[in-house]
């Protein structure tokens, strides 16, 4: 099996190189080798590699900057999945693509199901939602995994930001009214490998393609997440300027940003677990593994 992997230098792409390596020949590219906003280059890449499977974790993820770079965000998040899907369909390949909780409005407290109506509140979420739709139209053999709050040992993320700020500051204020599940890149990569392995064993003809929610178990908010991360660092003996008692909760309203964030980022994973008979461990396990690697 030949696998084309985009975004190899991202949090998820880094872990996918590891998890997919035993399953076939992995051709991993980064943005310098293939600019996802360049349609001709993207088509040429697929035509040259002629993979059996395209795995696309690459995305425009600068949520606030997307508000002023709408064209670039759309090229990468909306158009690139469509182009990959079109080229995959031409050569009989299938596609795995990743999306986000930001496709939802973020109201209420119930976890969103795959069948719930999307209503993105920012450009990033809108372009990711449009990318989902475009891929599904372009390629029937596509698997889309929606996830949230990705964290990994490679690349930048919230946990690393909290560790840096905790070492620099005596006081931190963190939003406590946005809820979701921090999901490790390693978990997503391992799940992906499980799905690819199943398709290899059973064939793609009867594989349950479609859209699924894949996040770690449990839930938290950014404030409690920050306390968990810094608490783990303190326990591990890492010098921190901040004390846990000096991390204070604030509301989203008190921390305005260019892009509106959903208050409810909970995703229901029942369909995924029922379809693939796979369990998703609590978020603390994945975050704990990441912290062990970076502390």
Q: Is the pLDDT of residue 32 over 90?
A: no
Q: What is the pLDDT of residue 166?
A: 97
Catalytic residue from among 60, 124, 223, 225: 124
Burial string for 104-123 (b: 16+ CB within 10 Å, else e) reads: bbbeeeebbebebebebbbb
The DSSP result for 165-202, as a single string, is: HHHH-S-EEEE-S-EE--EEHHHHHHHHHHHHHHHHHH
Residue with tokens 């939802």: 104
124 tagged catalytic: yes
Q: Residue 231 — pLDDT band, cuts 50, 70, 90?
A: very high
Domains present along the chain, CATH in parentheses: 2-157+184-215+267-281 (3.40.50.720)
Is-contact 264 108, C-beta < 8 A?
A: yes
Measured in residues, the chain has a length of 295
- Band the pLDDT of 31: cuts 50, 70, 90: confident
Residues 131-170 have pLDDT tens digits of 999 999 999 999 999 999 999 999 999 999 999 999 999 9
């Amino acid at each position: 099996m030949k696998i084309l992997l985009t975004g190899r230098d991202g949090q998820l792409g880094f872990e996918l190189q590891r998890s997919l390596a035993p399953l076939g020949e992995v051709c991993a590219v980064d943005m310098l080798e293939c600019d996802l906003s360049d349609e001709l280059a993207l088509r040429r890449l697929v035509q040259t590699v002629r993979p059996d499977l395209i795995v696309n974790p690459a995305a425009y993820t600068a949520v606030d900057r997307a508000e002023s770079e709408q064209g670039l965000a759309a090229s990468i998040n909306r158009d690139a999945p469509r182009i990959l899907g079109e080229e995959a369909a031409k050569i009989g390949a299938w596609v795995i693509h990743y999306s986000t909780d930001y496709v939802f409005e973020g109201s209420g407290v119930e976890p969103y199901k795959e069948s719930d109506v999307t209503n993105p509140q920012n450009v990033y979420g809108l372009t990711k939602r449009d990318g989902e739709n475009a891929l599904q139209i372009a390629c029937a053999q596509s698997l889309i995994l929606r996830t949230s709050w990705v964290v990994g040992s490679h690349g930048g993320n919230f946990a690393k930001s909290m560790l840096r700020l905790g070492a620099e500051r005596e006081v931190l204020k963190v939003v406590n009214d946005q809820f979701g599940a921090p999901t490790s890149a390693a978990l997503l990569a391992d799940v992906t490998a499980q799905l690819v392995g199943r398709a290899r064993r059973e064939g793609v003809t009867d594989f349950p393609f479609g859209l699924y929610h894949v996040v770690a178990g449990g839930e938290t908010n950014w404030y409690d997440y920050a306390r968990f991360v810094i608490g783990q660092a303190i326990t591990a003996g890492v010098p921190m300027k901040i004390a846990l008692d000096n991390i204070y909760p604030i509301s989203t309203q008190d921390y305005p940003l260019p892009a509106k964030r959903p208050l409810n980022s909970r995703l229901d994973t029942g369909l995924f677990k029922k379809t693939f008979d796979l369990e998703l461990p609590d978020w603390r396990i994945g975050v704990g593994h990441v912290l062990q690697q970076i502390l």
